């Protein structure tokens, strides 16, 4: 059965694991902790409250980083520091040519999977494209996709015919994206990379759609990457155009070893920033209701 394995010799019957289990799977019966029902989501909350190291799992591992394992820090970091750090992250659109080490890439992926996931599904998968030449190959495929799309969108007749097989998608595209893509394609002819902004590395977060909320899970994982990369002096930019293309073009997905039915949740351009921000960002006003 999936779930925690209790070491009876170490267990003091403190009940902490029983009380915390969100699925009410554990119970103290006849002087031992027992699993009373199926449905463990492998969240490891029981493991995390056991002071006596009496719980282990066959299915789980400790995330490990190039510096070893993480420490349990809950009180020592000042909120001001965290907020300031989050605030100082910006989308980076100018990268140095320097490559990113595989060690750092490994640490970023390990950080990604520390994100929360609905029902603890953790179905995220990753593709790392490391090296500018490989990034350019993907950019070329995406460029060709957009050349075809713009050819359809700029033709009024084709735009309306497309409604038969694509609903209003092409009309929306024409209204919202056509002009900026046209500009990007023109710039590409001049050797400018408006898609990946010259990044030497790309990280793609994708998954099947089997979990409870796979899109959100994938996006939280991607944001972890963005934040941890920032802490390492790296820059990232979410490339929505690339995600959208991959989700429409199965041939490109196939080249990246992403299964046809998987959905791409985020494409992150990654590299060392060739720009230094001297101020934190400004934001639009927003609505919030405190009830």
Q: Considering only CA atoms, which of 41, 93, 42 is closest in space to residue 199? A: 93
Which neighbouring-strand residues pair with 68?
Answer: 65
232/199 Cα distance (integer angstroms): 16
- With H, G, I as helix, E, B as strand and everything else as coil, classify residue 25: coil
70/103 Cα distance (integer angstroms): 16
118 binds ligand SF4 (CB under 6 A): no
- Which part of the chain contacts ligand FMN (CB under 6 A), choosing from 73-81, 86-94, 141-149, 205-213? 86-94
21 binds ligand SF4 (CB under 6 A): yes
Q: How far is the CB of 241 from ligand FMN (least distance, A)?
A: 4
239 binds ligand FMN (CB under 6 A): yes
Q: What angle do CA 219, 224, 228 make, to 5 degrees?
A: 150
238 binds ligand FMN (CB under 6 A): yes
* Binding positions for ligand FMN, 154-213, rule CB under 6 A: none
214 binds ligand SF4 (CB under 6 A): no
Separation in Å, CA 106 to CA 65, 67, 126, 243, 266: 7, 11, 11, 22, 17
Among positions 30, 31, 37, 54, the unique one binding ligand SF4 when judged by CB under 6 A: 54
Q: How far is the CB of 120 from ligand SF4 (least distance, A)?
A: 8
E strand or H helix at 34? strand 32-35
User: Which option in ligand FMN, ligand SF4, none does residue 93 bind, with CB closer than 5 to 8 A by kind?
Assistant: ligand FMN
Other beta carbons within 10 angstroms of residue 255's beta carbon come to 12
240 binds ligand FMN (CB under 6 A): yes
Among positions 5, 34, 40, 70, the unique one binding ligand SF4 when judged by CB under 6 A: 40
User: Which option in ligand FMN, ligand SF4, none does residue 142 bind, with CB closer than 5 to 8 A by kind?
Assistant: none
Q: Where would I find the H helices in 115-202?
A: 132-153, 156-166, 169-176, 178-189
Placement of tokens 């409870």 in the chain: 212
Measured from the CB atom, is 4 or 184 closer to ligand SF4? 4
Measured from the CB atom, is 12 or 281 closer to ligand FMN? 281
Cα 55 to its chain centre, rounded Å, is: 29
201-207 and 26-29: which strand pairing? unpaired
Among positions 1, 5, 9, 25, the unique one binding ligand SF4 when judged by CB under 6 A: 25
User: Which option in ligand SF4, ligand FMN, none does residue 15 bind, with CB closer than 5 to 8 A by kind?
Assistant: ligand SF4
25/290 Cα distance (integer angstroms): 36
Interface residues with ligand SF4 (CB under 6 A) are 3-4, 6, 11-17, 20-23, 25-26, 33, 40-46, 49-50, 52, 54-55
Interface residues with ligand FMN (CB under 6 A) are 90-91, 93, 237-241, 281
């Amino acid at each position: 059965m999936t779930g925690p394995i209790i070491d009876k010799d170490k267990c003091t019957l403190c009940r902490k694991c029983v009380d915390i289990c969100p699925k009410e799977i554990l119970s103290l019966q006849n002087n031992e902790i027992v699993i009373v029902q199926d449905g463990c989501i492998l969240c490891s909350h029981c493991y995390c409250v056991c002071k006596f190291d009496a719980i282990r799992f066959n299915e789980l591992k400790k995330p490990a980083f190039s510096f070893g394992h993480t420490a349990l820090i809950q009180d020592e970091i000042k909120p001001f520091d965290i907020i300031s750090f989050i605030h100082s992250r910006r989308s980076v659109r100018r990268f140095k040519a320097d490559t990113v080490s595989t060690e750092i890439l490994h640490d970023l992926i390990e950080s990604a999977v520390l994100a929360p996931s609905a029902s603890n599904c953790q179905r995220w998968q990753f593709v790392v494209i490391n090296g500018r030449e490989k990034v350019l190959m993907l950019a070329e495929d995406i460029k060709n996709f957009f050349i075809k799309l713009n050819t359809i969108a700029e033709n009024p007749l084709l735009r309306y015919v497309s409604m038969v097989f694509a609903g209003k998608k092409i009309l929306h595209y024409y209204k919202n994206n056509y002009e900026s893509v046209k500009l990007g394609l023109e710039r590409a002819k001049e050797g400018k990379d408006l898609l990946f902004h010259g990044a030497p590395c790309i990280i793609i977060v994708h998954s099947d759609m089997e979990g409870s909320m796979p899109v959100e899970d994938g996006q939280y994982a991607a944001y972890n990457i963005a934040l941890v990369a920032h802490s390492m002096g790296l820059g990232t930019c979410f490339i929505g155009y690339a995600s959208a293309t991959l989700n429409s073009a199965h041939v490109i997905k196939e080249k990246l070893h992403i299964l046809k039915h998987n959905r791409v949740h985020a494409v992150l351009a990654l590299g060392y920033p060739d720009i230094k921000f001297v101020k934190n960002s400004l934001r639009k006003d927003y609505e919030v209701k405190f009830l």
